[in-house]
């Protein structure tokens, strides 16, 4: 699957409607008023309808029509919020403004800022839900670029972030002995693409094994000149008002796990900043614990293309055989681009033991992660969720670091390898290898599925 973003110039320039609420005497006539209002409700109904259709089936089975409808109606809604006189906005669009106002950093009540943030929010939601099908991404990105430039002119919260020094995540002392020498994933110093390609294609049985690759991505600007450990840089590059999805809860197998859209500023302030306040949540047992938020498995680089300049797709990603690759293509024009996902969160995020059908290169950009891997041959000892009951047949029921061995006795027998992945390292995970991941510090990783 290939998602290329064009660099065409913006096709729209947004001029906000006069933001001073008009005196009641200059309200539109009743007829105009109701036409404007009816169109706002109509657009909202289209979005609701498309969303219901999208959620009614698994994501890979969604009819593109609904994605296109969701995008188009969202673009219309965004323009209405930006352009319609404030007094003529109906309740559902007013609600969008109220939500945006709550999300604004600090205590700002700037009406223009709220309106721009709400408009960006509607467009980001469309990007996250649909990826902007059939050319809609270009339109949405152009609008967001315009709005973000305006937002940044007015927003003064950048100063808040300027005071934060770059993160220098250090491995806590508690990790000493976490990885035993006989189980450590072998390290491979900067193999050539040819060597790597031979390795992952050649051996059919038992198949390629996990490897930590060093020396291959140290030159990325994300690790050097535009370091992603500098939250101030990230804050400016992404933009505080951009909406991103966050997973909240211990991990996605838990009953209280949920997903939310938050602004990037909120993500940093609430979840990532080590100094930031963390709201307590109640656990199942009623005790209070720190809420962990994880921007996980999200194609942030498609949503915020400027971040692509800070890294490059490792050439290794083009060396897999076609079979089982994301595009699954026999296309003579060559292999498809990898699926790229961002994983950004504080210390303590967990991805439960699961497998994916792709070759994976997990690139560690900021901080450290503990990763444990089990071969597909161990599947019967890992208790995958049963098919039929859930969509999680690629996920183990076992809590890897605190297994209930009475319930899952064969788990004791399962052999594994493990590593601590640090900045500048790549972990190669072969297809269908089970992997469990826990961040040991604030962490930013990028995965490439190919």
Ligand X SMILES: O=C(O)CCC(=O)C(=O)O
Per-residue interface string for the shown chain with ligand X, residues 386-425, x marking contact by CB under 6 A: ----------------------------------------
Record the tokens describing residue 3, joined without a space: 């998602």
Q: Which of residues 317-346 bind ligand X (CB under 6 A)?
A: 343
Query: What DSSP assignment string belongs to 383-412?
Result: -BPPBTTBS-TTBBSS-TTS--TTT-GGGG
Report whether 211 contacts 411 (CB < 8 A): no
Site for ligand X contains 368 (CB under 6 A) = no
The residues, ordered by sequence, that sit 6+ positions from 211 with a Cβ below 8 Å of its Cβ are 185, 186, 187, 188, 199, 427, 428
Residue 165: beta bridge partners?
none
Q: Which of 92, 356, 385, 394 lies at the binding interface for ligand X (CB under 6 A)? A: 356
Report whether 362 contacts 447 (CB < 8 A): yes
Shortest separation between residue 92's beta carbon and ligand X, angstroms: 36
Stretch that binds ligand X, among 56-64, 211-219, 315-323, 355-363 (CB under 6 A): 355-363
Q: Pairing state of beta strands 434-439 and 211-214?
A: unpaired
Site for ligand X contains 437 (CB under 6 A) = yes
Residue 151 or 344 with smaller CB distance to ligand X: 344
Site for ligand X contains 447 (CB under 6 A) = yes
Residue 242 or 372 with smaller CB distance to ligand X: 372
The residues, ordered by sequence, that sit 6+ positions from 276 with a Cβ below 8 Å of its Cβ are 268, 269, 270
Show the 3-state SS of 33-102.
HHHHHHHHHHHHHHHHHHHHHHHCCCHHHCCHHHHHHHHHHHHHHHHHHHHCCHHHCCHHHHHHHHHHHH
Report whether 136 contacts 75 (CB < 8 A): yes
Residue 145 or 356 with smaller CB distance to ligand X: 356
Which run of H or of E encompasses 245?
A: strand 243-248
In angstroms, the CA 199 to CA 193 distance is 10
In angstroms, the CA 18 to CA 410 distance is 67
Q: Which of 339, 362, 414, 440 lies at the binding interface for ligand X (CB under 6 A)? A: 362
Q: How many residues bind ligand X (CB under 6 A)?
A: 9
Q: Which of 267, 359, 445, 450 lies at the binding interface for ligand X (CB under 6 A)? A: 445
Residue 151 or 358 with smaller CB distance to ligand X: 358
Residue 302 or 362 with smaller CB distance to ligand X: 362
State the CB neighbour count (10 A cutoff) for residue 257. Answer: 13
Q: Which of 351, 375, 395, 396 lies at the binding interface for ligand X (CB under 6 A)? A: 351
Q: Which of residues 155-194 bind ligand X (CB under 6 A)?
A: none
Residue 270 or 435 with smaller CB distance to ligand X: 435
Shortest separation between residue 195's beta carbon and ligand X, angstroms: 23
Whether the upstream peptide bond of residue 165 has omega within 30° of 0, thus cis, is no
Stretch that binds ligand X, among 27-35, 89-97, 325-333, 354-362 (CB under 6 A): 354-362
Stretch that binds ligand X, among 82-90, 96-104, 258-266, 356-364 (CB under 6 A): 356-364
Shortest separation between residue 350's beta carbon and ligand X, angstroms: 7
Shortest separation between residue 60's beta carbon and ligand X, angstroms: 17
In angstroms, the CA 213 to CA 450 distance is 16
Shortest separation between residue 96's beta carbon and ligand X, angstroms: 32
Residue 94 or 297 with smaller CB distance to ligand X: 297
Residue 96 or 251 with smaller CB distance to ligand X: 251
In angstroms, the CA 417 to CA 181 distance is 10
Record the tokens describing residue 147, joined without a space: 């709005």
Residue 10 or 327 with smaller CB distance to ligand X: 327
Residue 127 or 437 with smaller CB distance to ligand X: 437
Shortest separation between residue 372's beta carbon and ligand X, angstroms: 12
The residues that touch ligand X, with contacts defined as CB under 6 A, are: 343, 351, 356, 360, 362, 435, 437, 445, 447
């Amino acid at each position: 699957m290939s998602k290329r973003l064009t660099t065409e110039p913006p096709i729209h320039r947004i001029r906000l409607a006069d933001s001073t609420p008009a005196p009641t005497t200059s309200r539109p006539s009743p007829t105009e008023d109701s036409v404007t209002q009816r169109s706002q409700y109509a657009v909202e109904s289209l979005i609701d309808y498309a969303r219901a259709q999208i959620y009614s089936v698994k994501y890979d089975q969604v009819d593109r029509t609904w994605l296109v409808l969701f995008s188009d109606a969202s673009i219309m809604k965004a323009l209405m919020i930006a352009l319609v006189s404030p007094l003529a906005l109906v309740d559902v669009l007013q609600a969008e403004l109220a939500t945006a106002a709550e999300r604004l950093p600090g205590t700002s009540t700037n009406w223009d800022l709220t309106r721009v943030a709400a408009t960006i929010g509607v467009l980001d939601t469309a990007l996250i839900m649909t990826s902007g099908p059939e050319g809609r991404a270009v339109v949405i990105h152009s609008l967001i670029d315009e709005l973000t430039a305006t937002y940044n002119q007015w927003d003064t919260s950048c100063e808040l972030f300027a005071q934060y020094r770059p993160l220098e995540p250090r491995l806590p002392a508690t990790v000493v002995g976490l990885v035993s020498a006989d189980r450590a994933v072998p390290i491979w110093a900067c193999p050539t693409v040819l060597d790597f390609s031979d390795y992952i294609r050649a051996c059919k049985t038992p198949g390629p094994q996990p490897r930590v690759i060093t020396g291959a991505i140290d030159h990325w600007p994300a690790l050097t000149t535009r370091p992603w450990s500098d939250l101030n840089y990230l804050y400016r590059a992404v933009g505080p008002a951009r909406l991103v999805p966050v997973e909240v809860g211990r991990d996605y197998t838990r009953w209280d796990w949920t997903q939310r859209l938050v602004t990037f500023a909120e993500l940093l302030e609430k979840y990532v900043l080590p100094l930031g306040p963390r709201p307590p949540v109640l656990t199942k047992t009623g005790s209070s614990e720190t809420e962990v938020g994880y921007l996980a498995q999200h194609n942030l680089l498609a949503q915020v293309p400027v971040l692509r300049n800070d890294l490059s797709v490792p050439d290794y990603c083009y060396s897999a055989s076609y079979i089982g690759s994301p595009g699954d293509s026999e296309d003579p024009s060559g292999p498809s681009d990898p699926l790229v996902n961002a994983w950004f969160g504080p210390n303590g995020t967990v991805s439960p033991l699961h497998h994916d059908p792709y070759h994976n290169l997990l690139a560690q950009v900021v901080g450290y992660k503990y990763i444990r891997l089990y071969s597909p041959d161990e599947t019967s000892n890992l208790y995958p969720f049963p098919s039929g009951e859930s969509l999680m047949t690629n996920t183990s029921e076992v809590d890897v670091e605190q297994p209930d061995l009475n319930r899952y006795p064969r788990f004791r027998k399962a052999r594994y390898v493990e590593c601590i992945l640090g900045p500048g390292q790549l972990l190669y995970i072969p297809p269908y290898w089970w992997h469990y991941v826990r961040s040991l510090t604030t962490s930013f990783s990028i995965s490439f599925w190919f």
